[in-house]
């Protein structure tokens, strides 16, 4: 039947991975994490070795906990799971809220925070 073939062809699939799930479906339509902002170089570490089947956690959440048994940056987690960084940030927010992962934000560089140095450099460049 032609109608059945059309619906079969319209399914989102990946030849190697099976059905493809859109990122907004993984985050249930959320674009921002419930907590945190998570810089690309923020370091993520799991607080538990395994995650029991808890309500509200998807396979991506479990994969992040498994992956972060060793310290990983947010960018590495996204790359290894082949997910957009925005999606990973939302999932990390869920995991931080449940105390399943810990995120260490990058430190501000220590040193001079006085803007007068930047002004002096700019003025020196203008003088050339």
Q: Write the pLDDT tens digit of every residue in 82-118.
A: 888 888 998 999 899 999 999 998 877 666 567 787 7
Burial of residue 63 (CB within 10 Å: 0-12, 13-18, 19+) is: middle
Q: Is the pLDDT of residue 13 over 80?
A: no
* Rounded-to-integer distance, Cα 96 and Cα 118, Å: 37
Q: Is the pLDDT of residue 3 over 90?
A: no
């Amino acid at each position: 039947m032609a109608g059945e073939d059309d619906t079969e062809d319209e399914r989102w699939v990946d030849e190697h991975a099976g059905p493809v799930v859109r990122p907004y479906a993984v985050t249930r339509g959320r674009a921002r994490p419930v907590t945190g902002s998570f810089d690309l170089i923020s370091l993520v570490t799991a607080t538990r070795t395994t995650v029991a089947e808890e309500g509200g956690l998807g396979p991506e959440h479990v994969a992040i906990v498994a992956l972060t048994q060793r310290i990983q940056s947010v960018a590495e987690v996204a790359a290894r799971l082949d997910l957009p960084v925005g999606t990973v940030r939302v999932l990390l927010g869920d995991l931080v809220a449940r105390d399943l992962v810990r995120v260490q934000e990058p430190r501000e560089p220590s040193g001079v925070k006085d803007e007068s140095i930047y002004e002096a450099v700019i003025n020196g460049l203008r003088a050339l």
